[in-house]
Amino acid sequence: MSAHPGHAIPDEAMQQKLRALPSVDELLKRPFVTAMINLRGRALLVRATRLAVGNVRARIKAGGDSHVSDEDIEHAIHTLSRPSLQRVINATGVVLHTNLGRAPISRAALQGAVEVAAGYSTLEFDLQAGERGSRYTHASKLISELLGAEDALVVNNCAAAVLLALSALCAGREAVVSRGELVEIGGGFRIPEVVAQGGARLREVGTTNRTRIRDYEKACGPETGVLIKIHQSNFAQVGFTESVTVAELVQLGRERGLPVLVDAGTGRVVSLPGVGDDGVDIRGALRDGADLCMFSGDKLLGGPQAGVLAGKRALIAACREHPLCRALRVDKMTLAVLEATLRLYLDGREDEIPAVHMLRLTPEALRPRADALLRALSGTALKADIETVSAKAGGGTLPLTEFPSLAVRLTLQGVGAKKLSDMLRACEPPVVARVEEERVLLDLRTVQPEEDAALLAALQRVAATRVNGGVSSC
């Protein structure tokens, strides 16, 4: 009851409505609900009726209708059945969209993982010897072969790989890093903090915009543990800049007996036209003599979330034997997907890796699909035309690298860009568009051809929506 006498009467009416709400037991006897129990099971309907009553309770408090309708229950069933982690259509053109799960994984690679995960496996079992084996052997040979490395190790992600390398190779000593490379990657991964967490001391050299090999030389001393080069990833420097190459660092490292580590982040294994020479070529870095390269499995490699360490045998062994390695280890599904992805590279079938394929698509290759979409939408309320736009690799990769792409621009009479993009996200499956200067764009580069039909169906539902009547989802 309200403390304010003036509110007593409306409050009392509301309390009455709340008390009059049906119980879950009563609702479970409704014909609609008993029919749904037959279809979907009692457990779900108990949860759905409870949720529906809760929703109506909130609606009463907001001054709305107090009847628990069949639609309320249907809506609750839908809410409860929809997975939290669900597939969406990425029409942003950003191939490695961190918020949308970075690299889509090839079906061929996933199939292998399903078989491994659904049964028992050789995860830590040596078939020949019939005794305990190591999970770290699985992808390692393929990585080494693909990259020309002596040995390799896979952990949870690249952040874990960097933390492990510093902990195993530089604890209690100094890690020499250029001031221009002390980056923060999204999600709170800051190089100075990771260095500290690894038990190492940061030794910054050079200036923000210019670092020369002399700067590293001057910093080397009895306290030095490693020399590190970090890919700038998500920002770029232009103008009066200078940085040191891997080859130069390696020469210094050899002279001083210090290992050279490269945090590549976005490891590139094959040539990608738009990404050009910016994405660190892992093979090249190892060929130049880097002792240890670290990169993400789900960036330009196009595989599962993982962190790969590749390089000298002794350094990999030190990482593998460090206690942190156990805490950062990967599971069998990741290893199976990664192994299958690596095989696609080794078999010369990397075009079957969705991220690689998408990054290689030309605007001309996208045009027939864009034209088909335009034809299918002609005569509907949704106006569509084709625009040349620029796409990005994304995923903390190469901020300045943009390459030409093709987008379908959508407009719906009387509906602003933000509202239209909201409507697209409310579709089933949700469509995530790119909104740029009041324009809603669908870049087909990141829409897989198998998704075209679902995309069109979603657009047709949006086109048929009566916006004026207040109904705005499809």
Chosen residue from 56, 149, 158, 300 binding ligand PLP by CB under 6 A: 158
Cα gap 84→283, rounded to integer Å: 38
Q: Which of residues 108-137 bind ligand PLP (CB under 6 A)?
A: none
Q: Is the CB of 309 or the CB of 417 nearer to ligand PLP?
A: 309
Q: What one-letter code names the amino acid at 25?
A: D
Q: Which of 407, 164, 131 is nearest to 294 (CA)?
A: 164
The binding track of 395-434 with respect to ligand PLP, each residue x by CB under 6 A or -, is -x--------------------------------------
| Least distance between ligand PLP and beta carbon 344 (Å) | 20
159 touches ligand PLP (CB under 6 A): yes
DSSP 3-state of 176: strand
Cα angle 419, 373, 431; round to 5: 40
Q: What is the spatial distance between Cα 95 and Cα 104, in angstroms, rounded to a whole number?
A: 9
Helix orientation angle between 313-321 and 158-170, rounded to the nearest 10 degrees: 100
- DSSP for residue 445: G
Q: Which is nearer to ligand PLP, 105 or 407 (CB)?
A: 105
Q: Which of residues 358 and 398 has its CB atom nearest to ligand PLP in the complex?
A: 398
Structure tokens at 235: 């920002």
CB-based contact 143:292 (threshold 8 Å): no
Q: Which residues inside 39-98 make contact with ligand PLP, applying CB under 6 A? A: none
Q: Coil, strand, or helix at residue 403?
A: strand
Shortest spacing between CB 98 and ligand PLP, in angstroms: 8
Q: What is the per-residue binding string for ligand PLP in 301-340, x denoting contact by CB under 6 A? A: ------x---------------------------------
Tokens of 230: 């970090």
H/E run at residue 260: strand 260-265
Q: H or E element: which one contains 389?
A: strand 382-392
Burial class of residue 12 in the structure, from the number of CB atoms within 10 Å of its CB (0-12 exposed, 13-18 middle, 19+ buried): exposed
List of E strands, 75-133? 89-90, 125-126, 131-132
Q: Which C-beta is closer to ligand PLP: that of 140 or that of 157?
A: 157
Of positions 263, 278, 281, 451, contacts ligand PLP by CB under 6 A:
263
Segment contacting ligand PLP by CB under 6 A, of 146-154, 158-166, 281-289, 372-380: 158-166
Nearer to ligand PLP, 125 or 189 (CB): 189
Three-state SS at 346:
helix
Q: Is 185 in the site for ligand PLP (CB under 6 A)?
A: yes
Please, which residue, 113 or 158, has the CB nearer to ligand PLP? 158
Angle at 392 between CA 389 and CA 395, to 5 degrees: 155
Nearer to ligand PLP, 154 or 358 (CB): 154
Per-residue CA distances from 329 to 110, 153, 326 (Å): 20, 10, 5
Contact region for ligand PLP (CB under 6 A) — 258-266, 383-391, 405-413, 438-446? Answer: 258-266
189 near ligand PLP, judged by CB under 6 A: yes
Q: Which is nearer to ligand PLP, 49 or 305 (CB)?
A: 305
Query: Segment near ligand PLP (CB under 6 A), from 156-164, 333-341, 342-350, 421-429?
Result: 156-164
Residue 155 is a binding residue for ligand PLP (CB under 6 A) = no
Q: Which is nearer to ligand PLP, 267 or 274 (CB)?
A: 267
The residue count for binding ligand PLP (CB under 6 A) is: 15
How far is Cα 57 from Cα 72, in angstroms, rounded to an integer?
12
Helical segments of 380-428, H only: 417-425
Which window, 140-148, 227-235, 252-260, 348-356, contacts ligand PLP (CB under 6 A)? 227-235
Distance CA 86, CA 8 (A): 46
Residues 229-248 that bind ligand PLP (CB under 6 A): 230-231, 233
Among 144, 178, 266, 334, binds ligand PLP (CB under 6 A): 266
**Footprint of ligand PLP (CB under 6 A):** 157-159, 162, 185, 189, 230-231, 233, 263, 265-266, 296, 307, 396
